[in-house]
Amino acid sequence: MKTIKLLLPCFLVTAALLSCNKKKLTEVVEVPLPAAEEKVTLGQPDDVKADEGTFAMAKLPYAYDALAPNLDALTMEIHYSKHYLTYTNNLNRLIAGTEQEKLPIEELIAKLDMSNADLRNNAGGYYNHTLFFEGMAPKAGGAPKDTLAVAINRDFGSFDNFKTAFSDAASKQFGSGWAWLITDRAGKLQVISTPNQDNPLMPQMPIKGTPILGLDVWEHAYYLNFRYKRKNYIDNFFNAINWTKVNERYEDAMRRKY
Ligand code: MN
């Protein structure tokens, strides 16, 4: 049987080649697809290990598929296990053997030499992604409670006003960047956006403050699932915000005087 199985395709190919010779060269020859489909297997966040270095990746407190359908599993996996990992490794490599290794990340960023693009991008990338991944949770979203709810009403008038301001900042950030909810240097909540991996802790920022909620609007954060529809991604992010965590950050910022 094996011989027949092998001979038959050989015969067909030969016949096709012979018949091709007689036909016009412009004829399209159909190429068969591989029989086995390529299977995408999701990894586990715990399997992701940064190289040895000062700063560790935040442990993802949920599975890659736990935020679906708001944020899809494959985007989450690539974002966490590739992008975030790379920023972490680059940051650690850039500061190895320097005084910056002794600083908390917030202080390292606040004291950045902004002309050092490599360190600016990777320190920002590390900090921003840590905040982003920890700011989401399964079965989350809705509106904040606690002290943050009071502060949002005080500074934006209502939660809906805040949501509109934040969505606008995220939509209108041209190109790659981030939208933020921050406590500014007077303790007031503000919504801002920054380009690239900048954040409002950095020197020379037009509005400085402590980020308590961050949304990544780089295309890698949404393009697989939402394609060019950044607005849909922003709407879905609101269903995944871990307001308990954001409230903790708010109270912490208030305690430390922003
Ligand atoms: Mn990102």
Asked if the structure places residue 208 within a domain, the reply is yes
Q: Residue 21's pLDDT band (boundaries 50, 70, 90)?
A: very low
Asked if residue 118 and residue 31 are part of one domain, the reply reads yes
Q: How far is the CA of 116 from the centre of ligand 1 (A)?
A: 20
Give residue 18's pLDDT.
Answer: 45
Q: How far is the CA of 197 from the centre of ligand 1 (A)?
A: 9
Q: How many domains does the chain have?
A: 2
Asked if residue 152 and residue 127 are part of one domain, the reply reads no
List the domain range (segments joined by +) for residue 244. Answer: 146-257
Q: How far is the CA of 187 from the centre of ligand 1 (A)?
A: 27
Asked if residue 239 and residue 211 are part of one domain, the reply reads yes
Asked if the structure places residue 139 within a domain, the reply is no
Q: What is the CATH number of the domain that holds 91?
A: 1.10.287.990
> Is residue 221 over pLDDT 80?
yes
The residue among 8 and 86 whose pLDDT is bigger is 86
Asked if residue 247 and residue 174 are part of one domain, the reply reads yes
Asked if the structure places residue 141 within a domain, the reply is no
pTM of the model: 0.84
Asked if the structure places residue 173 within a domain, the reply is yes
Q: How far is the CA of 148 from the centre of ligand 1 (A)?
A: 26
Give residue 165's pLDDT.
Answer: 98
DSSP per-residue letters across the chain? -HHHHHHHHHHHHHHHHHHHHHS-TTPPPPPPPPSSPPPP----GGG--PPSSSSPPPPPSS-TTTTTTTS-HHHHHHIIIIIIHHHHHHHHHHHTTSGGGGS-HHHHHHT--TT-HHHHHHHHHHHHHHHHHHTB-TT--S---HHHHHHHHHHHSSHHHHHHHHHHHHHHS-SSEEEEEEEETTS-EEEEEEETT--TTSTT-SS-EEEEEEEE-SGGGTHHHHTT-HHHHHHHHTTTB-HHHHHHHHHHHHHTT-
Asked if the structure places residue 124 within a domain, the reply is yes
Percent of the chain with pLDDT over 90: 82
Q: Residue 15's pLDDT band (boundaries 50, 70, 90)?
A: very low
